[in-house]
Structure formats: C-alpha cells, structure tokens
Structure 1
Amino acid sequence: MRRLTRLWRRSIQARVVTSTIVLSALVIALTGWALLRDVAGGLADSRRVAAISEAKSGFDYAQTQLDASVETEPATQSQALTQMVDSLTSSRGAKRTYELVLEGPLLTGTGEVPIRSSAAIEAGSLPADLDRAVRSKPGTYWRYSDLALLGSSDTHPSVVVGSQLRAPGTGDTYALFYLFSMEDQQETLDLVRRALLLGGLAMVLMVGGVAWLVSRQVLDPVRLARRIAERYASGNLEQRMHVSGEDDIARLSSSFNQMAASLQSQIRRLENLSRLQQRFVSDVSHELRTPLTTVQMASEVLYDARERFDPQTARSAELLKGELDRFESLLSDLLDLSRFDAGAAKLELDTIDLSQVARSGADDPMLARKGIDVALIGVDEPAIVEADIRRIDRIVRNLLTNAAKYSGSPRIEIEVAQNDGCVSLAVRDFGVGLSGDENLRVFDRFWRADPARTQGGTGLGLAISREDAALHGGTLQAWGRPGEGSEFVLTIPKPEGTAKFPAITSVFA
C-alpha cells in the first residue's frame, strides 16, 4: 500500500492514467446503464402491448364459447371450460407463446376455487393484486411477474393478463389469465448487457492505453528536463536537452538550454569577479602590511613620547595609535577572510578543554570594566575537543566582546554542555536582543544590526567566527528576541563522536 501511495504521489503519469480510466469507466457505466434501461423498457413495453392485444382476442373467443354453450349443469359446464382451455392452448398457432390459468367458478364465500392451468405452474405464482382485481370486477388487467413452475427453482419473467368470464347458463363467473413468457426479451436484454459490458471494458482499456501513450509523450521530455536540472543543481552545467521538432516541447527544451547557457555564463562571470575580488583583498592586505608596520613603529615612538608634547599633540598621538591598532585588526580580519575564501585556512589542532576556555573568557578585564556580571554554567566537568586553540579563543572572545559592547546587558551567561557526539559553548545576554531578520543576517560580512550602537567594530567578527567554527566541522548559531536578549551557541564535534546535533538548544529556538 505504501508503494502505491508513493507511486500516486510521485508519478504524474500514474495519476493521469488512473484518473482517465476511472472517469471514462464512470462515464461508460452511466451511459451503458441508461442505454440498457431504455432497451429493457422498450422490450417490455413492446411485449406488453402485444400480450394485451392477444389476450383480449382470447378473452373474446372464450366468452363467445361460453355464450354458445346451452349447458346449465355445473359439471357439464366445467367439462366444457376444460375443453375450452385445451382448445385455446392447442390451437391458435403452431408455437404457443403463452399459458392459461382458469379459476372458477368464483365463489362469494371463502371456499376453495377450482384452478385449471395449461402448465405445471407453482401455486400462488399469480400476482395477488392482479388476482384480486380480476375477481372483484370486470375488465382487463395486467402485471409483470416472475412465475415459478413445479419442480423448478428458476423463475421466468412473464406478462400476466387477466379478465372475468361469465357463463350465461348458470350465471357463474370465472377468472381467465394469460401468461406470456418474456424469455426471448430477457435473452435479448442479456445479449445487449454482455455487449455493453465487453464494449465498455474494451473502451476503458483503449482510453487507458491512449492516456498512457499521450502522457508518456508529454512527460518524457519533462523527466529529461528534471534529470538535467538535478545535474545542474549538482554543479554540472554542461548538460543540454535534445531539441527535436518545433512544437511546445521543443520550444521548452530550447528555452531550457538558453537558460542553462545564461546561468553558466553568469556563474562564470561571478566566479571571475569573486576571484578578482579575493585576489584584490589579499593583495591589498599583504601590500598594506609593510607600510602599516612602518607607520605603526613611528606611531609607537610618538605614543611613548607623548608626555613631552603639549596636550593637543599628545592627544593626537593617542588617537593615531588607537586608529592604527584598529586598522591593523581590520587588515588581519581581511587576511583571514581571504584565506577562508581561497580555501587556504589551516588548523593547528590540539586537545583543549572548552570549560577552561569559558573560564578564561569570563576573566576578560573588559567585562570587569563594563561592570558586567558573568555566570558560568556547566564548567565543572572537562569538555575535551580536538581544535585550534587560537581560533576557538577568538570565537569566544568575539562573542563576549559583542555581548559587552552592543547588548546593553548587565549580565552574561556562559554555558558548556556535551553529549556523546559534540560539545557546545553558549554565550547568552539579556539585553536588546535580535529580531527575526537580524537572526539570519547577524553573520553577514560588514553587517550591523543598529549602526547607532556601533563602537568602532568592523562588522567582520561574527563572520570570521562562523568560518572558524565551520573549519572545525562545527556550527555557530544565533537566536534572540527583541528586549529578551540573544544567545550564540558554538558546537564542536568530538573526535570519536558521530552525533551532529547541538548539545545545547537555545531557549529562543
């Protein structure tokens, strides 16, 4: 059942063919039912009209025979009626198409009424309402009925026509019934039913085959396009669809090939621009190193001698030293990013304890100067990972620096947790927090949540931290809500671990 469900959900061709077969079968069944009903009604009406006409002729003949009889004794009259029944059934055509049932004389009391018939008809087979109607008053009445013969379990569809006869000699009344078989009509109806069933089945199969063929002609190019699109998604942009003809499918294939060529051209252009940009950043960063070192050495000389300068010159020396330090930090970040982009960043792995890293981060003098209370959670047990201590320490210090500078929170929590597969370190503040869009963009390069809150940052710290985490095979994630604070979770896999999920789940997630 699951396979059928999956086939129905994933295959357009299966849905099209199945829907076409079901709908065509429904239409053919309704059409066949209406046609069969009309044929059955026509055959029944035709047989009924002919039966009533023939029965009336027989009633007139029987009444004429009774009128011509001069016998008044019941026994003699009964014998004459029996002969009349035999005469009616043995004459009037070589092939008899009816049977006769004669009841009478009819009594006014509840006594048994004699019944004579031309065939072994099961007692009580005559329709009860027809029998009552004929006995109650003169006239010709008819009904459709299924009659049963003695010794047979089958019933035979028939038209029963009845009328009263009156014997003038005795005044007795009799009920005479003509039973016309409808077996020929039933055989005709069965033949029509079989023909409709076989024809409808053949029509459904033919429509299903046509639907399968047409859907295949339409879907085969679509499947080819899907396979080529999957190859494009995997990075293989050289594939092209085969174009044959000038129909809509061929035009779709041409458009698809043009789109692929355009994408390939745009991607190549962007790759070239990216390489040029990376090379430019790398070259500029390296070229600036030498003059920056020279200028920085001169600024340090001025900074060390600032006490001998006048106040304005001394302040200028301090500002120059601070801005050069900031410029050196920005240059170092740009060099790190260029290494990440070029795939040249390397790890110097060592066994480190993230709990110790968390304790070291909590002792940062900057947090004490800001008057921020730091709470350590889960650092009592070692949390051992194989990592580059320089990069891990840079990640933690970036997170703490951002929380101290930009969050406005009086308290910061540093939590360490671990499971069988990974170790997580979370830094949470209780300040301004992050909105939904900021949660997604906080790791973008040079992006700031609120430029009014910046305090000299470059906007590259979190971007570099995420690259450092990815270089370790880990993750760095951020959550937050406005006014409730934010939380950053660093996750590093253990050397022997297999789990890839964070050991810490943020309260904002």
Structure 2
Amino acid sequence: MRPVPWRRWLRRFLGLWRSSLEFRTIAITVILSGIAVTIIGASISVSIGTNVYEQRRQQIESESQRATQLAQNIFDSATATEDNNQVELDSLQNQAQSAILSSTSSPGGTSIAILRTPGQTTSQTIQNIASPDFPNSSISKAMRSAVAGETEKLHLQAVELTTSSGRSPGIAVGSTLQVPTAGQYELYLVYDLADAQKTLDFMQQTLAIGSIALVLLIAVITYVVVRLVVGPIRIAAATSQKIAAGHLEERIPEAGQDVIATLGRSFNGMADAMQRQIEQLADLSRMQQRFVSDVSHELRTPLTTIRLAGDMLYDNRDTFDPAAARTAELLHTQVDRFETLLADLLEISRFDAGAVELETEPVAIVRLVEQSVDEFYPLAEGTGSTLTVTARGGYFDAEIDPRRVRRILRNLVGNAIEHGEGRPIEVVVDSDASAVAIAVDDHGAGMIPAFTERVFDRFWRADPSRKRTIGGTGLGLSISREDAVLHGGSLEVWSEPGIGTRFVVTLPRRRGATITTSPIALDERRRSEPEGGGR
C-alpha cells in the first residue's frame, strides 16, 4: 500500500524539523511573521473597506436627500386644475424622474422607481414608473413598510445586485413624495457600488502581494542571518564528531573577537586539554597492559619451577608426617590457583590490547553444554545441588569458538554451585533462527540491584568474607562477558534476594550476524516464580 502523499510530505517536514536547526529557525520566523502580517493586513483591509463604504454611504445619502427635495419641489410647483390635472401630473412625474437622474453622480449607475403607497383612496393617480434595470427584488417588504410609515426620513439598506458582469454590492434608498391631488408616493433609488468594490479588491490584492513579498523578504533575511550564525555552529558540530571518532587533532577555525570566536577558542582549549588527558590515559593503559603481560610472562618461569617441585612434594606426601603432607597439599592447590590467575590475567591483557581473535566452527550447542555440565556433577553433589539441562527450540547448531563458550559455561555453572546454597540448578538452552541462548539458574540468596550492576567488574565480590569453594580468581565473569561480546552476543544477569540468580548468554548463530532479541527472556524467572519466591 503506497503512503498518502500528504503523509510523505509531513514525514519529510518533521524529519527536517528535527534534524535542521537552520530549517527550524526559518520556519518559525516565516510562520510567526506570516501570522503577524496576515493579522495586520486583515485589520488594514477591514479598516479601509469600512472607510470606503462609509464615505460612499454618506455621499449617497446626501445625493438622495437632494434628489428627493428636488422632486418634491417639482411636484409642489403644480398649478393644474381639475380638467387638466392628470396631464400635468404625468408631465411633472417625467420632469421629476429626469431631474433625479441628472442630480445623481454614482459611477456605478443609479436605478429609480416611483411607486404609489398602497392603501390610498385619492381620485387622481399617476402611474408607477421604474428604470428598465431597476432591481425590484432588492426592495424588501420591511423597507417599504418603513418608508411608508416614517415619511420624514431617508431609509437606507445594503443590497446585492446582479449585473451582466456578476454580482456587486449596492445601497437602496427610500423616501416619500407628496403629489398634489394624487396622494403619497415612494421614491426608491438603488446605487451600484461596483466601482467601490473594484477599488477595494485592487487594494486587497495589492496588500496581499505586498504581504507575501514582505514574508519572503523576511525569510531571505532570516536565512542569511541564520547562515551566518549556524555556519560556525555546524563547523563546531562536525569538529566535535570528528574528535569523538578519534581524530583528536581536529580544531575549530578561530577568527574575530565575537561570541562565536570566543566559543571556538574555548572549544579548542577544551579539545587540547581533553587530547592531553586521553593521550596520558592511553599511555597509562598501555603501560598497565604491558606491565600485566610482562609480569604474567615473567612469573611463568619461576612458577614452572615451583610447579615441578610442588608436584614432586605432592606425589610423595604419603611419606611425610601429617603436617608436612598437609602443607604439600596446600602448596599444590595454591599453585593451581596461581596458574589459573596468571592465565586469566594474560587473557584480560589480550582483551584490553584488542589482540583476541575468534576461532569459530559449527558446533552442536546442546552437546557442548552437556559435556561442560558433566564435569560439575561431582562438585554439585558435594554441595547438595542437582544439575539439570533442558533444551528447547530447534536451531541448536551455531558458528562459535567452542573453547570460549566452554569457559563461559564453566564460570557460570561454577558460580551457580558456589552461590546456590545446595538448591537445584537448571541450565536451559533455547534458540531461534538468528540466535542461541543459554541460561544458568540457581535458587540461592540472590543479589540486590546495586550488586548486579557490578557483578561483571574485575575482582569484585558481593561478599568478600564468603569462603570460595571452587577457588575462582575474581575474573571469571568479566572474561565471560568479554567472550560473549567477542562473538557479537551478550551476557546479562537478573537476580532478586530470596529468589536466586539467572545468567543468560546470547550468541548469534552465524558469525558476524546481528541479534536484537534473546530466545530466553532475562526476567522469565520473575514472571514464572510463584508469590513468595517459590520457597
């Protein structure tokens, strides 16, 4: 289904509005100036229209008053007798009509009508007369009643006229005439105001064109000003992006003494200080990595000697007295732990130096998990915990580095046994078309949120006084997360006091693929646990 055009334009407008400060500033200025110009133009148009109409109304009222008085004077001059009164009245009526038309000067034209007032019983009458183009429909019954009832004043009414060129406004004026021996007649004059309307239309058109030109001029001026102001800001934004991308030598050009130049100098000073700090930190980091690596390598030589001597003592411990035999066992255990610690330190230094590479191959995840868990069954039985493996889903093959995934599982399962408090431990494997996930659940004491935020920190322990039963180095979870991230996946933790802890490692099924969701929900335990923690 194709999108509606106006929605497409709306999305483009909103995109520009959010991304462009220049467009947003110009748009706001044009909209506000357009509203202001429209209000001012409308006010001016209404004021001019009112003034034009009022002037024409006063002119029409004055002309109508003169025309009525002129016609009345003509009829008052009648000297007719009973025998020739009708002939003279008709002649006076024609004279009055001609005089009225000649006394008006409306550019749009004037229509005239002389109508007998209804309800009279005089013996003599004159015929009703009207101009050929007189608009009878414009004279309403209400106006005729008002003219017939109030004979001492003029009555004006706005009307709409229909002409060959279209519709135009007009004014109808009504008054009364007293004709000797013929009674009362009504004089109606209709003035066409098309000329005034044309003048007003021309003025409004000119005002509209001027308003649009003014708004466009304001837009151009705003664009020029915004370019002058936003240009340096755009340069500063581009420079900051380059610095964020690692180009620490980038700087903003400095010119002038204005605020923008001050901003540029301040920014460049800040960038210089930041570059020095980053370089110092980078040097310190390299020194630290080199130190850890060198120390780890240097310690391997004496450790190998100690290992040989310790193994000899450990193998012959049965010939020693009990105290010496116990010392040989402790020496053997601590040498093993020392070797593990050195291996972890070397691995951490390789991660920090970015010198770690994956060696992936197609692997059946369920089989790998089962093999990794098998070696922990004796240790779990010693603590009273039971280990179970549950496989769900149907996409269990994946391109992974099996050595690193085994190390992740050893760390997670060993950690669960360490903190499981003798309760059951479940390992769940699930998958979908794009990812595989492994969850390790224990039902131990759990952790508060402040501890879960630091659980992957190096050498961090939630309870330093707690005795280690497995003898970890404090780097296992940190290395496990690095291994997961190296695969393009993640290692997350969920825990609640009194319920237990869940670790979920999610890996892409194909090397280099991107994953957005995990087949196993991290907080699935929260939704499935009964109230009270299931204890």
Common fold: TM-score over 0.5: yes
Q: Which amino acid aligns with 2:55?
A: S
C-alpha distance in 1, partners of 2:434/2:512? 4
Give the 3 Å change call, closer, same or farther, for CA 417–343 of structure 1 in structure 2. Answer: same
The one of 91, 96, 116 equivalent to 1:84 is 96
C-alpha distance in 1, partners of 2:485/2:106? 105
Give the 3 Å change call, closer, same or farther, for CA 83–275 of structure 1 in structure 2. Answer: same
Aligned residues: 505
Per-residue Cα deviation, 1:427-479 (whole angstroms, up to 9, x for no partner): 22222334444444322211223334452543201112223334445443333
Give runs of aligned pairs for residues 442-453 of structure 1, distance below 5 A. 442-453=455-466
Q: Is 1:416 equivalent to 2:429 in the alignment? A: yes
Give runs of aligned pairs for residues 318-329 of structure 1, distance below 5 A. 318-329=329-340
C-alpha distance in 2, partners of 1:123/1:367? 111
Structure 2 residue ranges without an equivalent (≥5): 1-7, 525-535
Q: Is the 8 A contact 2:421 2:444 kept in 1?
A: yes
Out of 139-148 and 407-416, give the one that drifted further. 139-148
Give the 3 Å change call, closer, same or farther, for CA 496–306 of structure 1 in structure 2. Answer: closer
Out of 15-24 and 301-310, give the one that drifted further. 301-310
Corresponding residue for residue 483 of structure 2: 468
C-alpha distance in 1, partners of 2:385/2:463? 21
Corresponding residue for residue 22 of structure 2: 13
- Which secondary structure does the structure 1 equivalent of 2:138 belong to? coil
The one of 172, 187, 209 equivalent to 1:160 is 172
Corresponding residue for residue 229 of structure 1: 240
The one of 14, 25, 35 equivalent to 2:44 is 35
Give runs of aligned pairs for residues 119-268 of structure 1, distance below 5 A. 120-146=133-159, 148=161, 152=164, 154-167=166-179, 169-170=180-181, 172-268=183-279
Give the 3 Å change call, closer, same or farther, for CA 398–49 of structure 1 in structure 2. Answer: same
Out of 303-312 and 356-365, give the one that drifted further. 303-312
Corresponding residue for residue 417 of structure 2: 404
Q: Scaled by the length of structure 2, what TM-score is found?
A: 0.83
Q: Is the 8 A contact 1:99 1:118 kept in 2?
A: yes
Q: Which amino acid aligns with 2:34?
A: A
Instruction: Percent identity, please.
Output: 37
Corresponding residue for residue 112 of structure 2: 100
1:115 CA drift (Å): 2.9
C-alpha distance in 2, partners of 1:297/1:418? 46
Give the 3 Å change call, closer, same or farther, for CA 52–474 of structure 1 in structure 2. Answer: closer
1:383 CA drift (Å): 4.3
Q: Is 1:115 equivalent to 2:128 in the alignment? A: yes
Corresponding residue for residue 383 of structure 2: 370
CA-based RMSD of the aligned residues comes to: 3.3
C-alpha distance in 2, partners of 1:385/1:190? 79
Give the 3 Å change call, closer, same or farther, for CA 241–80 of structure 1 in structure 2. Answer: same
Out of 280-289 and 28-37, give the one that drifted further. 280-289
Give the 3 Å change call, closer, same or farther, for CA 493–174 of structure 1 in structure 2. Answer: closer
Corresponding residue for residue 489 of structure 1: 504
Structure 1 residue ranges without an equivalent (≥5): none
Q: Is 1:395 equivalent to 2:404 in the alignment? A: no
Give the 3 Å change call, closer, same or farther, for CA 228–147 of structure 1 in structure 2. Answer: closer
Q: Is the 8 A contact 1:356 1:379 kept in 2?
A: no
Q: Is the 8 A contact 2:395 2:431 kept in 1?
A: no
1:173 CA drift (Å): 0.6
C-alpha distance in 2, partners of 1:475/1:493? 10
Give runs of aligned pairs for residues 274-353 of structure 1, distance below 5 A. 274-300=285-311, 303=314, 315-345=326-356, 352-353=363-364
Per-residue Cα deviation, 1:278-301 (whole angstroms, up to 9, x for no partner): 111112222223333444445555
1:400 CA drift (Å): 1.0
C-alpha distance in 2, partners of 1:106/1:462? 111
Per-residue Cα deviation, 1:313-353 (whole angstroms, up to 9, x for no partner): 55555444444433332222212212222334455666654
Out of 86-95 and 5-14, give the one that drifted further. 86-95
Per-residue Cα deviation, 1:231-287 (whole angstroms, up to 9, x for no partner): 223222222222222222222222222222222211111110001111111122222
Q: Is the 8 A contact 1:399 1:488 kept in 2?
A: yes
Q: Is 1:55 equivalent to 2:68 in the alignment? A: no
Give the 3 Å change call, closer, same or farther, for CA 132–339 of structure 1 in structure 2. Answer: same
Q: Is the 8 A contact 2:360 2:402 kept in 1?
A: yes
Out of 63-72 and 36-45, give the one that drifted further. 63-72
C-alpha distance in 2, partners of 1:22/1:235? 41
C-alpha distance in 1, partners of 2:479/2:452? 17
1:388 CA drift (Å): 4.6
Per-residue Cα deviation, 1:135-192 (whole angstroms, up to 9, x for no partner): 123122332433547x73634433333221223x326011123334434432332232
The one of 505, 512, 515 equivalent to 1:500 is 515
